[in-house]
Structure 1
Amino acid sequence: MATPSTLAMILAGGRVDELGVLTHYRPKSAVPFGGFARVIDFPLSNLMRSGIERIAILSQYRSYSLINHIGTGAAWDMIGRNRGIFILPPFKDYYNPHWYRGSADAVYQNLDFIRYNKPEEILILSGDHIYEMDYRQLIRFHHEQDADLTAAFIKVEKKNAARRFGVAEIADNTAEGGRLLSYEEKPEEPKGDWASLTVLCFKPKVLCAILKENQAAESYEFGRDIIPMMMRRGMKVFGYKFNGYWGYTRTVDEYWQTSMDLLGDSPLIDMEHWGLRTNLEHRGIRDCQPLKVGPDGSLDNSMAYNGCIVEGIVRNSILFPGVQVEKGAEVSNSILFFNNTVKEGSKLERVISDVNTSFGSGVRAGAAGGRVTVIGWNNHVPDGMVIGGGCSVAPEMDADKWPQEGLADLEELR
């Protein structure tokens, strides 16, 4: 039986401060998304549909939620001979005194795993982007160009790329892509208008050599260090032009907007068409009762998964399993994670609420048209509490720490 030619490695262990309380207890790749799934499900489903069945997940920050979600890998058909999902946590040993010091260092510390699998190409992916891609097309382009590295990019406006993405200029060799003419990591004034997707295809020998050389440096990132180093050496670095949807989830506002792209008559994200898979055993999703909408309940341009009970009004919102919206409550433009309860008379507007949170009677949270309010997990918001727009509430707040006067716009409660 032929062994897989491609080894995929997913960078999934990081936490970003911009997601605030949503990543207090989980890596960004394990943040819930889409009413039932997790962000990492998108690259995993892409790999499954692309026939890439040998996958390593590099995890560091608070890995339990991610490990619990991946399980055996069966949800993505990653069980069997010559296939599987392997979670590679950081480690220290006689030769290596460091935890993962960056994306490139994380891969370097697992070169023995790469050598053991003997791949013909190595595909390195970010675990926190929302998109659909057939990686086989990129890999074919990589081989046709005999590239040392092929990176995927998407067209963006320069003003939107400044200080946010790695940005490249790509020669028009073919409609699919061309040689990189320049590359800058999060520049203030970008030269190019192609933003990196952090989808990287390497020749294994080239990757191993460049990562070993990078160990003498003080920074260990693919975008900041590895790609520029290869460009300076005149190595064969190509850009693959991706033309599909790409959702970014680095900040709260970006996560909220990407989630809203699931809604509408013609949503930009079509999870059913994309063939998204998730682990339905995680949090007992598969055992939830069907969605129940009461006689006074309504769902308008919203998603509500099994296990939800809607007795109130829900507009332009996403409800995960176990959410209950009582009669007389209103939820608008919001995202409620697993097992939230919204009591009678409460109104939520542009709120993201983490798991196991309840909103008492008469609560007012969030504000229309402003910044998104985020409530950490395992909270009970007291009856009558007023929380302004753009507020942030830490997980598991004690009852006596909630201020009687409420929270003004942009205020934090820790």
Structure 2
Amino acid sequence: MKKVLAIILGGGAGTRLYPLTKLRAKPAVSVAGKYRLIDIPVSNCINSEIFKIYILTQFNSASLNRHIARAYNFSGFTEGFVEVLAAQQTPESQTWFQGTADAVRQYIQLFEDWDVNEYLILSGDHLYRMDYRKFVKRHRDTKADITLSVLPIDERRASDFGLMKIDDAGRVVDFSEKPKGQALKQMAVDTTILGLTPEQAEQEPYIASMGIYIFKKDVLLNLLKESLERTDFGKEIIPDASKEYNIQAYLFNNYWEDIGTIEAFYNANLALTKQPQPPFSFYDEKYPIYTRARYLPPSKMLDCQISESMVAEGCILKNCRIHHSVLGVRSRVEEDSVIEDTLIMGSDFYQPFIECQSIDDDFMPIGIGKKSIIRRVIVDKNARIGNYVKIINKDNVQEANREQQGFYIRSGIVVVLKNAIIPDNTVI
């Protein structure tokens, strides 16, 4: 693995995850109450003994830089590093990243200098656990120029992915990025070729790219240098290369979720609370997910009723009811409040007198006030929600922009903005 360099693509402006990406890069969005999205691919690299890791980003990267600097410091006796590379102007390129391939191209001289055999290209907004050593081994065993990590998928979601056809040896013979209509029907294959049972193959007749690639070093350099017009791996580089190069498919048959939209992000977080076995678990001792160490006190729960929920460290919960929810670090919920089907991201800091039972009426603390009802909501960090507030989407609105009032609605999910103030007695 010392001969592998990992490149994590931080994504663009994150419009599908807006407003969570209003003040931060997409990889810096919180997940599971205490982690960031970027922790998933970085932890997978570390667990796979890949310690040379670059992260490419260009939007709102301050919080991402801060998190990486605080979370990942390798010993000075190794070559290991995790480094953020932001979009920059150079004599060769004076524009921002135009796509996934263009992002890598703009730093090609830096990557070229490393004495490695392969480049591992990853995405920064997926939730999964993967041992890249098996992926690299398959790439080397098949003498592939490019290897794509793939998974079988049903027709309902197929048009959101790059789809491919493969031969009996696993070689990609056709590739189409997000086909629709008749073009989609033509990409259906017999997925028993991947080892699926006939029943599974009938339900999932498409082979989808996960956006995870391994390139031979010289192959990637050639592809990026020979045509500057090709700016995206999925739309241009991979389909064009399938005619000339040995592109192999590697089956990944475990949990994987693209959490690049508000609805997918919300569902993936709340799925962590499922019993007895959630689809993805952070409780894996062999393959842990790493993040920044905060040294927070234990959570304090004063006469609370909590069910099917995850509560991060440093929270203070007073005589409240919490069901099927995820509460992030330093969350605060006052007495007689009800939290259901909700993701609360918590707070970046504590306020003075955080444990006081009585708070001055003129002071609205960070967190959820008294006798409030919060249902099917994402509450971003440092939000202040007053007393007797109801956030229940009473009119079942699917889409709304209420930035002046401190919230958006996406796919019926209310998203309270970071640092927002929701006054007492508000009903949403």
TM-score range, shorter chain: 0.7 to 0.9
Matched residue type, 1:220: T
Tell me, yes or no, if structure 1 residue 111 matches structure 2 residue 108: yes
Closer/same/farther in 2, CA of residues 266 and 214 from structure 1, 3 Å limit: same
Gaps of 5+ in 2: 189-205, 348-365
Give me the whole-angstrom Cα distance separating, in 1, the residues matched to 2:405 and 2:426. 18
Deviates more, 1:36-45 or 1:94-103: 94-103
Structure 1 partner of 2:266 = 256
Runs of 4+ in 1 over 4 A off after TM superposition: 367-381, 391-399, 402-407
Tell me, yes or no, if structure 1 residue 270 matches structure 2 residue 277: no
Deviates more, 1:87-96 or 1:262-271: 87-96
Query: Residue 196 of structure 1: CA displacement?
Result: 1.5
Structure 2 partner of 1:5 = 3
Query: Residue 405 of structure 1: CA displacement?
Result: 8.5
Matched residue type, 2:211: T
Tell me, yes or no, if structure 1 residue 357 matches structure 2 residue 354: no
Give me the whole-angstrom Cα distance separating, in 1, the residues matched to 2:81 and 2:333. 40
Matched residue type, 1:314: I
Give me the whole-angstrom Cα distance separating, in 2, the residues matched to 1:303 and 1:370. 26
Kept after mapping to 2: 8 A contact 1:332/1:349: yes
Query: Residue 380 of structure 1: CA displacement?
Result: 7.3
Closer/same/farther in 2, CA of residues 252 and 47 from structure 1, 3 Å limit: same
Give me the whole-angstrom Cα distance separating, in 1, the residues matched to 2:288 and 2:41. 11
Give me the whole-angstrom Cα distance separating, in 2, the residues matched to 1:194 and 1:261. 25
Closer/same/farther in 2, CA of residues 380 and 327 from structure 1, 3 Å limit: farther
Give me the whole-angstrom Cα distance separating, in 1, the residues matched to 2:269 and 2:386. 25
Structure 1 partner of 2:20 = 22
Query: Residue 15 of structure 1: CA displacement?
Result: 2.5
Match among 197, 211, 214 for residue 210 of structure 2: 197
Per-residue deviation, residues 90-146 of structure 1 (Å, max 9, x unmatched): 111223222221110111111111221121111000011000000011111111111
- Give the structure-2-normalised TM-score: 0.83
Give me the whole-angstrom Cα distance separating, in 1, the residues matched to 2:381 and 2:150. 34
- Give the structure-1-normalised TM-score: 0.85
Closer/same/farther in 2, CA of residues 313 and 398 from structure 1, 3 Å limit: closer
Tell me, yes or no, if structure 1 residue 300 matches structure 2 residue 322: no
Give me the whole-angstrom Cα distance separating, in 2, the residues matched to 1:313 and 1:113. 53
Structure 2 partner of 1:154 = 151
Kept after mapping to 2: 8 A contact 1:142/1:150: yes
Q: What is the DSSP-based 3-state SS (H/G/I as helix, E as strand, rest coil) of the residue aligned with 1:22?
A: coil
Deviates more, 1:92-101 or 1:363-372: 363-372
Q: CA RMSD for the aligned pairs?
A: 2.9
Kept after mapping to 2: 8 A contact 1:374/1:390: no
Structure 2 partner of 1:230 = 241
Kept after mapping to 2: 8 A contact 1:166/1:184: yes
Give me the whole-angstrom Cα distance separating, in 1, the residues matched to 2:329 and 2:400. 19
Kept after mapping to 2: 8 A contact 1:356/1:379: no
Structure 2 partner of 1:124 = 121
Q: What is the DSSP-based 3-state SS (H/G/I as helix, E as strand, rest coil) of the residue aligned with 1:239?
A: strand
Aligned residues: 383
Give me the whole-angstrom Cα distance separating, in 1, the residues matched to 2:75 and 2:64. 16
Matched residue type, 1:355: K
Give me the whole-angstrom Cα distance separating, in 2, the residues matched to 1:159 and 1:388. 17
Tell me, yes or no, if structure 1 residue 41 matches structure 2 residue 39: yes
Give me the whole-angstrom Cα distance separating, in 2, the residues matched to 1:388 and 1:186. 22
